[in-house]
Amino acid sequence: MSLFKRSALVAAVVGGLTLALAAPASAHVTVNPNTATPGSYSKVTFRVPNEKDSANTTKLEVNLPADHPIASVSVKPLPGWTAVTEKNKLATPIKSDDGDITEAVTKITWTADANSAIKPGQFQEFDVSLGPLPESGQLIFKALQTYSDGDVVRWIDEPTTGGTEPDHPAPVLKLAAATAPAAPAAPAATTGSTKSDGPDAFGLAGFVAGLLALILALLAFQRAARKPADSPSETSPAEDKKVSASA
């Protein structure tokens, strides 16, 4: 097997293994983006893929964290799906400019009509506006995904301290302060003219010379490969005449 064929085979095997390992992780119910600015209002999207080959996803339930109640929760309408929110009384009211908020949304349930369920090989996105978000930490949204065959997948496992991913991880929104943009680098000191109309001439010339050398080497290699080796017993016509005269 040639070196080129071996390299192609290795690349194909590595690519296949990479896709096989990445596929399970991409099938989880996730929240996107997975980070937000503390104290802000943010729009998040719950992305729900269908993991089954013979059943449709007909319902999604998302539980908002009770330990971090959110005062304002709005659901974006999604054609073919009915969204219902549930509210509970808060043990500790949330202070706001409009007064104390004594209840908050704790659960959102989306239910599909007969023609809008998530079919095998498809996914759906559910948009929610939340705010104001807590000043630190993270929000864990435990989700339940219901299939048309009655199966319910519970995406409720919280993140582990060891860094390993659980079997059914819950969507997690991390709260991180926005980073300030990096200061632009100071321009380097130059001498003489600073005008530049294109790529460096010496670098371009070197590249062209190297490319021509490579082409010539390949052509020489092809000629050498096609040219048959000279036979050691072959003699020229002049030498044949000398042999005849001497005889």
Asked whether the predicted pLDDT for residue 7 surpasses 50, the reply is: no
Judge whether 92 lies within some domain: yes
* Domain extent for 36: 27-175
Judge whether 241 lies within some domain: no
β-strands 138-140, 30-32 pairing: unpaired
**Residue range 141-196, pLDDT digits in tens:** 999 999 999 999 999 999 887 778 889 999 999 998 766 555 565 555 554 444 44
Domains in the chain: how many in total?
1
pTM (two decimals): 0.62
Amino acid at 130: L
Measured CA angle at 109 (ends 70, 68), to 5 deg: 20
Average pLDDT estimate for 67-80? 95
Judge whether 199 lies within some domain: no
Judge whether 184 lies within some domain: no
CATH number of the domain where residue 76 is located: 2.60.40.2230
Asked whether the predicted pLDDT for residue 34 surpasses 50, the reply is: yes
Cβ 36 vs Cβ 24: under 8 Å = no
Q: Of 132, 100, 118, which Cα lies nearest the Cα of 52?
A: 118
CA distance 155 to 158: 9
Judge whether 142 lies within some domain: yes
